[in-house]
Amino acid sequence: MDKLIVQGRKRLVGEVSISGAKNAAVAVIPAAVMAEGVSTLENLPYIEDVRSLCHTIEKLGGTCEYIDRHTLRIDCDGGIDHRATFEEVQKIRASYYFLGALLARYKKAEVAMPGGCNFGTRPIDLHLKGFRALGATVEERDGMVHAYAERLIGTSIYMDQVSVGATINIMLAATMAEGTTTIENAAKEPHVVDTANYLNMMGANIKGAGTDVIRIKGVEKLHGAQYAIIPDQIEAGTYMIAAAITGGDVLVKNIIPKHMDSLTAKLDEMNVTIEEHDDSIRVTANRPLHCANVKTMSYPGFPTDLQPQIAALLSVCQGNSMITENVWDNRYQYMDELRKMGAKVTIEGRLARIEGVERLKAACVNATDLRAGAAMILAALAAEGESVIGGVKYIDRGYEDVEHKFNTLGAQITRIQE
Ligand code: EPZ
């Protein structure tokens, strides 16, 4: 597995361009199989998860070809298999979106249970509960989910818990159900809205995405569409925090500043200078960093996917900080790696208490998941000395050209292929 060699004490300066949103891409690509016709999806990040979903569509009998690194042409016009039961499907959690998409188009779907990052239990009970509410029979056996329905009938679904994946998956299934479905207590993340916008371009009738209540009027069929996805809120936040932790001055470009509000406010509270422009944010850190408390919440709260990254930053702020992880049961596994670099952290359930240190020190560490891997890079950039980061395959799942983008900003990161 590849490793990254990161030279410490590098102040990041310059401009970085943000790629398309991974969590929008992994929803709209499965959604494309619902169309009788061709879709062209633009501004996709060139990352492993996108390539994996492409392979799955090809194995289902559709075509999914790269027009360029960031554009896919997806054609499932002639129909595809409703059974996504091969190994490729188990590589990423977002494969579960094929359940909603195939159930919508064929009223039946068989999908291997998803894999995904190894933090906390990652059930899909809310997804299956939603499918059953729409009239599907859903069984889990032999590591597969089997779903089928004579008819899918629109209904009102109240989400026991705010869930991005379940909200999107139920929206997919309801898009071609008979009648109207309302999803209450829906997730409001930007990628939920992006997926709804793409479905509407395909001929769906969805209103309210981005609010607590999404209303979906079922349609007979969907046609292909050309659609450009939104920029990645989490990649953007990662580079904003990178500027802060290295005392740098970075313009993060091709973003939607509104999506960054919770992080922008937190960095401002921590004595970092933030300049917002139409489609970019400049982050300048030339004063001592203040400690802060962070609570992760569903959007528009502070995103859980920036929790490891902000933890790295808080570990070198003056004073004591606290993080409360309210979304995932066990998303602190990376803290052992951060401690190897000298961070002073104690974990009590959902609470992480961080005592700021003057300087982190280089170490050999491992990425335990995608965002934890990003946090290791941030910590290593600020640390004294040369760090080695293993588990780079996790980072490559969600960050396009990661060492190139950081090196353009003045980092010195080398990839060792093993
Ligand atoms: C999406 O995961 C993202 N992944 C995650 O990002 C992100 O952390 C998460 O949303 C929260 O924002 C993708 O979009 C592919 P959830 P998802 O359903 O949809 C519980 C990254 O780094 N839950 O909103 O799986 C669940 O256990 C990844 O890009 C159930 O109990 O998250 C969690 O505690 C990591 N039953 C909470 O809800 C269910 O059926 C929120 O999960 C579904 C979820």
**Residue 90 pLDDT grade (very low, low, confident, very high; cuts 50, 70, 90):** confident
Checking if the pLDDT of 383 tops 60, the result is: yes
Task: Report the distance separating Cα 123 and Cα 136, nearest Å.
Answer: 19
Q: Which of 157, 163, 327 for a ligand 1 pocket mutation test, highest count of atoms within 8 Å of Cβ? A: 163
Closest CA to 373 of 20, 9, 47: 47
CA of 249 to the centre of ligand 1 (A): 32
| Closest Cα to atom 35 of ligand 1 | 305
Active site residues: 117
CA of 12 to the centre of ligand 1 (A): 31
Task: Report the distance separating Cα 155 and Cα 174, nearest Å.
Answer: 9
Give per-residue pLDDT as tens, 274-285: 999 999 999 999
**Residue 225 pLDDT grade (very low, low, confident, very high; cuts 50, 70, 90):** very high
Task: State if residue 127 touches ligand 1 by the CB under 6 angstroms criterion.
Answer: yes
Rounded to 10 degrees, what is the CA torsion of 170, 174, 179, 181? 20
Q: Which pLDDT value is given to residue 118?
A: 64
What's the mean per-residue pLDDT of the chain?
A: 96
Task: State if residue 118 touches ligand 1 by the CB under 6 angstroms criterion.
Answer: no
Q: Which of 19, 23, 233 for a ligand 1 pocket mutation test, highest count of atoms within 8 Å of Cβ? A: 23
Distances (CA, A) of 208 to 161, 194, 212: 18, 12, 8
Q: Which pLDDT value is given to residue 142?
A: 86
Task: Report the distance separating Cα 287 and Cα 276, nearest Å.
Answer: 19
Task: Report the distance separating Cα 87 and Cα 108, nearest Å.
Answer: 20
CA of 51 to the centre of ligand 1 (A): 21
Cβ atoms < 10 Å from Cβ of 300:
14
Compute the C-alpha angle 198/203/205, nearest 5°.
Answer: 85
Q: Which pLDDT value is given to residue 120?
A: 63
**Residue 250 pLDDT grade (very low, low, confident, very high; cuts 50, 70, 90):** very high
**Residue 119 pLDDT grade (very low, low, confident, very high; cuts 50, 70, 90):** low
Residue 364 tokens read as: 């050999």
Q: Of all atoms in ligand 1, which is nearest to the CA of residue 92?
A: 15
Give per-residue pLDDT as tens, 30-87: 999 999 999 999 999 999 999 999 999 999 999 999 999 999 999 999 899 999 988 8
Contact 345, 352 (CB under 8 A): yes
Task: Report the distance separating Cα 126 and Cα 55, nearest Å.
Answer: 27
Compute the C-alpha angle 143/144/145, nearest 5°.
Answer: 135
Compute the C-alpha angle 305/308/310, nearest 5°.
Answer: 95
Rg (CA), the chain: 21
CA of 306 to the centre of ligand 1 (A): 13
CA of 119 to the centre of ligand 1 (A): 11
Checking if the pLDDT of 301 tops 90, the result is: yes
Tell me the pTM.
0.97
| Closest Cα to atom 25 of ligand 1 | 165
Contact 383, 361 (CB under 8 A): yes
* Tokens 């093993």 found at: 418
**Residue 1 pLDDT grade (very low, low, confident, very high; cuts 50, 70, 90):** confident
Would you give the distance in Å from CA 176 to the centre of its chain?
Answer: 26
Give per-residue pLDDT as tens, 13-41: 999 999 999 999 999 999 999 999 999 99
Which residues make Cβ contacts (< 8 Å) with residue 95, sequence separation at least 6?
30, 53, 56, 84, 89, 111, 112, 114, 115
Task: State if residue 370 touches ligand 1 by the CB under 6 angstroms criterion.
Answer: yes
Q: Of all atoms in ligand 1, which is nearest to the CA of residue 398?
A: 29
Task: State if residue 367 touches ligand 1 by the CB under 6 angstroms criterion.
Answer: no
Q: Of all atoms in ligand 1, which is nearest to the CA of residue 122?
A: 27
**Residue 245 pLDDT grade (very low, low, confident, very high; cuts 50, 70, 90):** very high
Q: Of all atoms in ligand 1, which is nearest to the CA of residue 126?
A: 40
Give per-residue pLDDT as tens, 145-201: 999 999 999 999 999 999 999 999 999 999 999 999 999 999 999 999 999 999 999
Q: Which pLDDT value is given to residue 370?
A: 93
Contact 161, 174 (CB under 8 A): no
DSSP symbols for 247-281: T-EEEEES--GGGGHHHHHHHHHTT-EEEE-SSEE
The per-residue b/e assignment along 363-377, b for 16 or more CB within 10 angstroms, e otherwise, is bebbbbbbbbbbbbb
Give per-residue pLDDT as tens, 332-347: 999 999 999 999 999 9
